[in-house]
Structure 1
Amino acid sequence: MEKQKKILVLCGGKFAFQSLQALAYEKFLCGVGIGKGNDRTIDALERESEDNIVAFKSFPDKKSLKEMRIWLDEVQPDYIFSISFPFLIPEDVLSYGHDKFINFHPGPLPQYRGPMPIFEVLKNQESQTAICAHLMSSTFDQGNIIFNDIVQIENKDNYGKLTVKLSGRMAHVVINMANMVQFANKIPNRPQEETDAYYFEKPDFTDTYINWKRMGAEEITSLINACNPWNTGADACFQGEQVKIIAATVVDKPHNNKVPGMIISIDKDNSINVACSDDKQIAIEIMSTDEGIVSPKEFNLQRYIVGACFN
């Protein structure tokens, strides 16, 4: 009987935890490498690795990657799975076996290359996303595709909820891939279609800022969901103060061409209704201000008066 293939996982933190647990349970896991990560996460992974008798190594920065090839030669995995590993794997490490490195990208490829596809698909109001398994190359997210596993996006999904959903789905996808490599002589794959490719850089302030004059109600709420919780909501400005809108819903009611960003009303539940560029409104439910994260009932409503404007 052929010996079971050994899999080493390179990861970036807790997003990979369920996948690691599944691989360890099925006796596939032979090593764990973490890039960056906080001390608590590193300690937890190291303890779990010791308990499961698998190799462990931390790669805190790019310079430390020069130690990776030596480590791989010592552990001798049959395959290396990457789940949100933050660094580009150098060519001298990939030469361990180019068809042995498989990345699991939390977004559809080639359309959503880049470090934060979960933010981008939510911001762009996509109805579905994917976990893409692909062979790794010396360029981020450009290796041959093995498959895109489709995941539906629900109306209530924000960045945090979709991340948790994808983390759980990732465990199933990774186990399926682990089973595939046990029996396949060659992993089926295909080149990415470059005409469909787009690389999204890590979002900055201009990507998370609400442009009231340009953006419609659905676009604004999608941006708010895409920024919650990693950015503590979408950025806005009110009376010279930077604020973040954490939760809001669309109010499908015209505001009769009021100035976009203007507060139209303060409802009985104290939610703040604001005009958008498409003659719809959003009801702001939770915000982060200099006073802290507050619900509408806790707002200093003297500051949020009808006719005042966000900008």
Structure 2
Amino acid sequence: MEKQKKIMVLCGGKFAFKSLQLLAYEKFICAIGIGKSNITIIEALERESEENNFGFKSFANKKSMEEMRTWIDDIQPDYIFCISFPFLLPEAVLSYGQDKFINFHPGPLPQYRGPMPIFEVLKNNEPETAICAHFMNAKYDEGNIIFNDPIAIQTGETYGKLTVRLSDRMAQVTLNMANMLQFASSIPNHPQDNTLSYYYEKPEISDTYINWKRMSTDEIIALINACNPWNSGADATLLGEQIKIIIASELNEPHNNQSGTIVSITDTINVACEDNKQIAIEILSTEQGIMTVRQFALLNSVMVNAFNNIYKQQLI
């Protein structure tokens, strides 16, 4: 019987935990490397590695990547899996072996290259996403594709919910790949179609800010869901205060107000949108904490009463 393939896993944190657990249970893992993460996660992985006799190494920054090739040469894995590893692997590391490095990207390639495809597919209101397995080269997310495993996006799905579902699916995808490598002499793959490619940089404040005058109701709700919880909500201005909207829903009621105008304040803050619909804000985050609209109204009773008296307040 052929000897079990040894797989090293390079990861970036909790998103890879379920994959690590399943690969370890099936006795594929020989070593774990983690790139820049919090101390709790690093210590947990180091402890598990010691208990299971895995190699372990933490790569805290780009400078520490200079040690990776020596470490890989010592471990001698058959393959290296990457799951949300934060650093680009240099040629000196990749030269360990052609088609030895496989990245599992939590978004469809080549359309969603970049560090946060989960945010981007939700913000763009895509009906589905994917986990893409691809061989690695010296550029982010550009190696030959092995497969895209499609995953439907559920109605109202947030960044947090989709991340958990992708983490669950990732475990099965990585195990399937490990089994494929165990029995296949070569893995079919194909170059990416660069005419379809787009690279999304890490989101900035301009990417998470609601533009009431230009965004439709669907686009605003999609942005709010895409920002929950990693950005603590979508950025906005409300009654002169910088806030983050965490939960909101569509209110299919027409209005005669300029987009961005508060139409009414009850248990929700109802805001006019440019497509003649409204969004009903339910949960928001302020400098005083995360709260419901009722709690926000109590803390800002003077401003809310003033609004209710004049029945119109413009959001900036």
TM-score range for the pair, normalised by the shorter chain length: over 0.9
* Residue in structure 2 matched with residue 310 of structure 1 by the alignment: 315
Equivalent of 2:290, from 290, 293, 296?
A: 293
Deviations 1:1-23 (A, max 9, x none): 11110000000000000000000
* AA at the equivalent of 2:141: D
* Residue in structure 1 matched with residue 200 of structure 2 by the alignment: 200
Whole-Å Cα distance in 2 between the matches of residues 141 and 88 of structure 1? Answer: 10
The Cα of 1:156 is off from its aligned counterpart by: 2.3
* Residue in structure 2 matched with residue 154 of structure 1 by the alignment: 154
* Residue in structure 1 matched with residue 258 of structure 2 by the alignment: 259
The Cα of 1:93 is off from its aligned counterpart by: 0.3
The Cα of 1:204 is off from its aligned counterpart by: 0.1
* Residue in structure 1 matched with residue 13 of structure 2 by the alignment: 13
The Cα of 1:296 is off from its aligned counterpart by: 1.4
The Cα of 1:182 is off from its aligned counterpart by: 0.3
What does 1:18-167 correspond to in 2, within 5 Å?
18-167=18-167
The Cα of 1:197 is off from its aligned counterpart by: 0.2
Contact 1:227 1:233 in 2 (8 A): yes
* AA at the equivalent of 2:313: A
The Cα of 1:32 is off from its aligned counterpart by: 0.2
Whole-Å Cα distance in 1 between the matches of residues 61 and 240 of structure 2? Answer: 39
Contact 1:133 1:147 in 2 (8 A): yes
Deviates more, 1:50-59 or 1:288-297: 288-297
The Cα of 1:253 is off from its aligned counterpart by: 1.4
* AA at the equivalent of 1:310: L
* AA at the equivalent of 2:191: P
Contact 1:98 1:137 in 2 (8 A): no
Aligned to 1:48, the other structure's residue is in SS state helix
Whole-Å Cα distance in 1 between the matches of residues 98 and 314 of structure 2? Answer: 55
* AA at the equivalent of 1:60: A
Ranges in structure 2 where 5+ consecutive residues have no aligned partner? none
Contact 1:98 1:136 in 2 (8 A): no
* Residue in structure 1 matched with residue 3 of structure 2 by the alignment: 3
Identical-pair percentage: 65
Whole-Å Cα distance in 2 between the matches of residues 160 and 62 of structure 1? Answer: 28
Ranges in structure 1 where 5+ consecutive residues have no aligned partner? none
The Cα of 1:98 is off from its aligned counterpart by: 2.5
Aligned pair count reads: 308
Whole-Å Cα distance in 1 between the matches of residues 48 and 258 of structure 2? Answer: 56
* AA at the equivalent of 1:309: Q
Contact 1:215 1:277 in 2 (8 A): yes
Deviates more, 1:36-45 or 1:149-158: 149-158
* Residue in structure 1 matched with residue 275 of structure 2 by the alignment: 278
Whole-Å Cα distance in 1 between the matches of residues 198 and 130 of structure 2? Answer: 15
The Cα of 1:239 is off from its aligned counterpart by: 3.6
* AA at the equivalent of 1:307: K
Deviations 1:65-87 (A, max 9, x none): 11100000110000000000000
Whole-Å Cα distance in 2 between the matches of residues 164 and 41 of structure 1? Answer: 17
Whole-Å Cα distance in 2 between the matches of residues 135 and 307 of structure 1? Answer: 56
The Cα of 1:240 is off from its aligned counterpart by: 3.2
Aligned to 1:218, the other structure's residue is in SS state helix
Whole-Å Cα distance in 2 between the matches of residues 302 and 264 of structure 1? Answer: 18
The Cα of 1:289 is off from its aligned counterpart by: 1.2
The Cα of 1:88 is off from its aligned counterpart by: 0.1
Whole-Å Cα distance in 2 between the matches of residues 14 and 150 of structure 1? Answer: 22
The alignment yields a C-alpha RMSD, in angstroms, of 0.9
Whole-Å Cα distance in 2 between the matches of residues 3 and 126 of structure 1? Answer: 42
What TM-score does the superposition give when structure 2 sets the normalisation length? 0.96
Contact 1:131 1:150 in 2 (8 A): yes
